Amino acid sequence: MPYKPSVFLLAFFLSFVAHAQENLPLAEAALSLTEQQVTYDPSYFAIDYPNGDVPADKGVCTDVVIRAFRKIGVDLQQKVHENMKVNFQEYPNLWGLSGTDKNIDHRRVPNLMTYFKRQGAELTPSQYPEDYLPGDVVAWRLGTGLTHIGLVVGKKSSDGLRPLIVHNIGAGQVLADCLFDFKIIGHYRYGH
């Protein structure tokens, strides 16, 4: 009897292909950020709202994610701020704040993680490279206890096994083979 692929497997494959193509603009936007010279600077900045950004030559890991999404028409500053205003108690209270701050809330990794989760974009982190598609957002806990975030792009490591990440961990907005360098604490596929 000839093998017939199940409808479930076919649907899964088509969904996988559709997502990979759907989020390619986000992955390409992240790659384009590596062409900019950016100094790592975690300073607090008063910025415009909506569509505010820190100075173009400065930024941190969250700014990579924010800038990439903005390039495809998604303003995470506004989306996070509006969600936090209505659901402030659902967000981490790590900074002792009693209300939102549209200048900084979206620039904090735990807040982005909470926002993506609240939007139904959370996936289970895994140690399988094939689970990470272009445009996926990944969050890590660094050895120091700090959190970090970056974007998966459509390029692979030199051995062809791992997807590369665009992030800023201190050396500017760079492309790196770092997916499994730290403990993954968040994996998100946010379609907006």
Tens digit of pLDDT for each residue in 88-111?
Answer: 999 999 999 999 999 999 999 999
**Contacts of range 68-75, beta carbons closer than 8 Å, 24 or more positions apart:** 68/26, 68/29, 68/30, 68/33, 68/151, 68/166, 69/26, 69/29, 69/192, 71/29, 71/32, 72/25, 72/26, 72/29, 72/192, 73/192, 74/192, 75/50, 75/51
Phi and psi dihedrals of 123, rounded to 5? Answer: -115, 160
Look at residue 17 and tell me whether its pLDDT is greater than 50. Answer: no
Per DSSP, the three-state class of 114 is helix
Q: What is the pLDDT of residue 143?
A: 85
Q: Report all structural domains of the chain as residue ranges with CATH numbers, in order of start.
A: 28-188 (3.90.1720)
pLDDT tens, residue by residue, 54-92: 999 999 999 999 999 999 999 999 999 999 999 999 999
Q: With a threshold of 0.85, does the pTM exceed it?
A: yes
